[in-house]
């Protein structure tokens, strides 16, 4: 924004991890940020979802071929390295069988024991699964930009906190289940609490007193 002397900027950044539920599936978090220097505000769109990030060490061309459908090659591109994931040299953006064979031969020649490390290219333009996650983060940003603070009319009025404390249906103790959403403005101090009306009482199985 500084270099182009722009008052409006939009940027994205992603991270890869294991899924937050089982910790076993490849997961991708995407963040899209709008910086508006005219209205002095920052609005953030976010999405977490499945990642296409297969990776494996192989020692033959056949072994590599067996991996291709899991890696969703050729819709998703590949990176090839000699030895293992730590080798400093690599070939990126491999998108057809011919260049894959070339990269495989190159890596085999450079490797110590004939092993080659193959993984999905995670750069957004080479990985359509990531593109679709960035799209969803951008849709989240767009929903937030279209939500306006009732107090100061700034865009970006959104849920920032989920309050816990839904009462137990048997003993009335407060549980850890959500009871309300807190909406906050990104510009002024205005906040609004919105009660969640889908459940009025918590099941005693979720209560620390009834079911310790
Ligand atoms: Zn406001
Ligand atoms: Zn209870």
Q: How far is the CA of 182 from the centre of ligand 2 (A)?
A: 25
**pLDDT, tens only, 116-156:** 999 999 999 999 999 999 999 999 999 999 999 999 999 99
Q: How far is the CA of 4 from the centre of ligand 1 (A)?
A: 29
Q: How far is the CA of 179 from the centre of ligand 1 (A)?
A: 24
Q: How far is the CA of 175 from the centre of ligand 2 (A)?
A: 8
Query: Please, are residues 43 and 105 in contact by the beta-carbon 8 Å criterion?
Result: no
Which ligand is located closest to the Cα atom of residue 156?
Answer: 1
Q: How far is the CA of 3 from the centre of ligand 1 (A)?
A: 30
pLDDT value at residue 200 = 87
Q: How far is the CA of 176 from the centre of ligand 2 (A)?
A: 11
**pLDDT, tens only, 173-198:** 999 999 999 999 999 999 999 999 88
Q: What DSSP string runs through the chain?
A: -TTTT-SEEEEEEEEEEE-TTTS-SEEEEEEEEEEETTTTEEEEEEEEEE----EEEESSHHHHHTTTTTTTTTTS-EEEEESSTT-S--EEEE-SHHHHHHHHHHHHHH-SSS-EEEEE--SGGG-HHHHHHHHHHHHHHHHHHT-B-TTT--B--EEEEEEE-PBBTTT--B-SSEEEEEEE-SSSS-EEEEE--S-SSB-GGG-TTT--
Which ligand is located closest to the Cα atom of residue 201?
Answer: 2
Structurally, at CATH architecture level, domain 55-121 sits in 2-Layer Sandwich (3.30)
How do 55-58 and 158-164 pair as beta strands? Answer: unpaired
| Closest among 62, 7, 14 to 38, alpha carbons compared | 7
Query: Please, are residues 139 and 172 in contact by the beta-carbon 8 Å criterion?
Result: no
**Sequence ranges of the domains in the chain:** 1-52+122-146, 55-121, 151-212
Which ligand is located closest to the Cα atom of residue 186?
Answer: 1
Beta bridge partners of 182: 161, 193
Which ligand is located closest to the Cα atom of residue 149?
Answer: 1
Q: Tokens 């101090």 — which residue?
A: 189
**pLDDT, tens only, 38-51:** 999 999 999 999 99
Average pLDDT, the chain: 95
Question: In this structure, which residues have their CB less than 5 angstroms from ion ligand 2?
Answer: 168, 170-171, 173, 204, 207, 209-210
Which ligand is located closest to the Cα atom of residue 202?
Answer: 2
Query: Please, are residues 156 and 147 in contact by the beta-carbon 8 Å criterion?
Result: yes
pLDDT value at residue 57 = 97
**pLDDT, tens only, 70-93:** 999 999 999 999 999 999 999 999
How do 55-58 and 191-195 pair as beta strands? Answer: unpaired
């Amino acid at each position: 924004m500084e270099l182009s002397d722009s008052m409006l900027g939009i940027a994205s950044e992603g991270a890869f991890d294991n899924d937050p539920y089982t910790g076993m599936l490849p997961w991708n978090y995407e963040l899209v940020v709008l910086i508006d220097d005219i209205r002095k505000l920052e609005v953030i769109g976010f999405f977490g979802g499945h990642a296409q990030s297969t990776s494996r060490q192989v020692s033959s061309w056949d072994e590599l071929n067996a991996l291709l459908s899991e890696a969703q090659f050729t819709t998703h591109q590949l990176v090839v390295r000699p030895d293992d994931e730590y080798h400093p040299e690599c070939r990126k953006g491999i998108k057809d069988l011919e260049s894959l064979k070339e990269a495989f031969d190159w890596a085999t020649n450079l490797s110590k024991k004939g092993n080659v490390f193959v993984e999905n290219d995670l750069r957004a333009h080479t990985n359509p699964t990531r593109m679709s996650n960035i799209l969803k983060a951008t849709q989240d940003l767009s929903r937030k930009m279209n939500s306006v603070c009732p107090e100061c009319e700034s865009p970006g009025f959104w849920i920032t906190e989920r309050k816990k404390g839904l009462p137990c249906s048997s003993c009335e103790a407060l549980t850890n289940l959500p009871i309300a959403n807190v909406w906050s403005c990104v510009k002024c101090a205005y906040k609004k609490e919105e009660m969640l009306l889908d459940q009025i009482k918590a099941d005693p199985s979720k209560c620390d007193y009834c079911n310790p």
